Amino acid sequence: MMGGNSAERAISLNSGAAVLDALLRSGVDATGFDPGDQPWVQTFAGRSFDRVFNMLHGRGGEDGVLQGVLDSLKIPYTGSGVLASALSMDKLRTKQCWGGIGLPTPIWREIRTEKDLAACVETLGFPMIVKPSAEGSSIGISRADDWNALETAVRLAAVHDSPVFAEAWISGSEYTVGILKGEALPLIRLETPRSFYDYEAKYQATTTRYHCPSGLDAETEHRLQCLAMASCEALGVEGWGRVDIMLDTDGKPWLIEVNTVPGMTDHSLVPMAAKARGLSFENLVWLILETSF
């Protein structure tokens, strides 16, 4: 399942094509299916599919909607179920869950009206980062260094039709932790000359660097892997996924978000971490497929 009609459609098509090719090379009888902007459920239900390899990024595929449809049709699928998908896609609810059990995540303030801007500045200070709560791939996210930039950032985030919040800026290094069948993969350290790892740094820039091994000592890497696993357990994430973590200049880790359907092109982060573990792309795809059983 790939494509869909979310803001991440193009990325989903790329991921889906790579996964489909790997499945076919492994001898799996697989067919690509793009729900797109169509009433697709009847068409899909009329086909005799055994299970679904979900590569729909963003809304409709990563937020519990597809999972609910497939549960109703009694068709198994890869990855997390309805609740974990919905929670993880909603960055605000994710942070509330983590905060509720004492997992570290940067402080934040929801922005509902212009009156909330002053409270954000008072609580968080500048710089801060402004996000729509229900988009992936850093879509709609921007950094605010002053009042004018904050107003602009809120307008950009509000375009995406979901609650908007501001989060304290964490200075330090960014890491990502792939999760596969109950185990954490080797960490990847992300390095970009941009102000943060935004959409352009992820998909367009040629200056982004990925370090795997991450350069951390074994004890610190293990500690971050355990934190990533705990963050997934708190949300009910199953099968596979990816957790983004910041390590500040004092060495304190901060959970940023969880992706339950990460990118799966041959240059995406989970395949990169799996390769460091000794898994080929085909091996990785097969193991993710096994999460549907």
59 catalytically annotated: no
Annotation says 182 is catalytic: no
CB 196 within 8 A of CB 211: no
Catalytic residue among 14, 137, 231, 268: 137
Nearest alpha carbon to residue 263 among 184, 196, 176, 140: 176
257 is catalytic: yes
- Active-site residue, selected from the candidate residues 172, 203, 277, 292: 203
Catalytic residue among 8, 62, 198, 221, which?
Answer: 8
Catalytic residue among 62, 90, 198, 244: 244
71 among known catalytic residues: no
137 noted as active-site residue: yes
Q: Is 14 a catalytic residue?
A: no
Q: Are 144 and 129 in contact (CB under 8 A)?
A: yes
Q: Is 263 a catalytic residue?
A: yes
Nearest-angstrom CA–CA distance, 193 and 208:
7
User: What is the sign, positive or negative, of the torsion defined by CA atoms of 233, 235, 240, 244?
Assistant: negative
Write down the catalytic residue from 9, 59, 109, 242. Answer: 242
**Catalytic site residue 223?**
no
Integer Cα distance of 181 and 19 in angstroms: 18
Catalytic residue among 62, 221, 238, 257: 257
CB atoms within 10 A of CB 28: 14
Q: Which of 80, 138, 162, 259 is catalytic?
A: 259
Strands, E, within the chain: which ranges? Answer: 108-111, 128-132, 142-144, 164-168, 172-180, 183-184, 188-191, 209-211, 240-248, 253-259
Q: Which of 140, 178, 239, 263 is catalytic?
A: 263
Report CA 208 to chain centroid distance, whole Å. 18
Active site residues: 8, 137, 203, 242, 244, 257, 259, 263
